[in-house]
Structure 1
Amino acid sequence: MSIRAAQRQRALHLYRHGLKNLLSWAIRRDLFAQEAGRLRAEFDLNKDVDNVAQAARLLEKGEAKLKEYEHPDPYIVPYHPGGSLYARNPPFPKELKQQLDFGRETA
């Protein structure tokens, strides 16, 4: 993998995590859209940087900024591990049978 490809992947990772962090801070959808637009504009401003060293500095600065603004209690999708609904209902015991033809049972 070339340095440019690795930096591109790092930038995509940074952008994606920036959006996820915004979801934790901006509860209202209109505020999220506004802030996501600002974040995208910031990335678009620096997308044509050709100098590898300058791009690395910009990525390090962005990662530090993301770390600084990280939400103390980030939003977790309810059904993912750590979410409020994860493993909420235990599985049924194997002894129980499920009746799939309810109302059409044969005698």
Structure 2
Amino acid sequence: MSISSTAGYLARRAAQRERVRILYRRALKETLNWAVHRHLFYRDASDLRERFEANKNVEDLDTIDKLIADGEASYNKWRHPDPYIVPWAPGGSKFTRNPTPPPGVEIIYNYGREDH
């Protein structure tokens, strides 16, 4: 193997590792949307981890690309139609509920200890 082909191989493997890592994190977070209770989530998370661990030792680059594409397609198929959004995050129910006051308005928190 030449240096350029070795560098290309290593770059492709690094990109595949990153795609797998991102896919695993997204799928794990997505299982939280489907699990009503934590004990259900733990079982689903364990099953998901087993699915990823089953293909851990695959070395063929084309096979890895196919497995990643299949995993991404499965992830997109099973995405929750109404995912949980943390209330104070963008898209949450409390996001910008109390907007910042306009310029010139000052809030003083004296809590009853006003200066006379």
With structure 2 as the length reference, what TM-score do the two structures score? 0.82
Measure the CA separation in 2 of the matches of 1:99 and 1:66. 49
Q: Residue by residue, what CA displacement relative to the aligned partner does 1:24-70 show, whole Å, maximum 9, x if unpaired? A: 11121110011001001111111111110110111011011111111
Match of 1:43 in 2: 52
Task: Read off the aligned partner of 1:59 and give its amino acid letter.
Answer: I
Give unmatched runs, 5+ long, in structure 1.
Answer: none
Match of 2:78 in 1: 69
How much is the aligned-residue C-alpha RMSD, in angstroms? 1.7
Higher relative contact order (CA 8 A, sep 6+): 1
Task: Read off the aligned partner of 1:6 and give its amino acid letter.
Answer: A
Give unmatched runs, 5+ long, in structure 2.
Answer: 1-9
Measure the CA separation in 1 of the matches of 2:75 and 2:111. 54
Identify the range of structure 1 (33-42 vs 96-105) with the bigger mean alpha-carbon deviation: 96-105
With structure 1 as the length reference, what TM-score do the two structures score? 0.88
Number of positions where the alignment pairs a residue of Structure 1 with one of Structure 2: 107
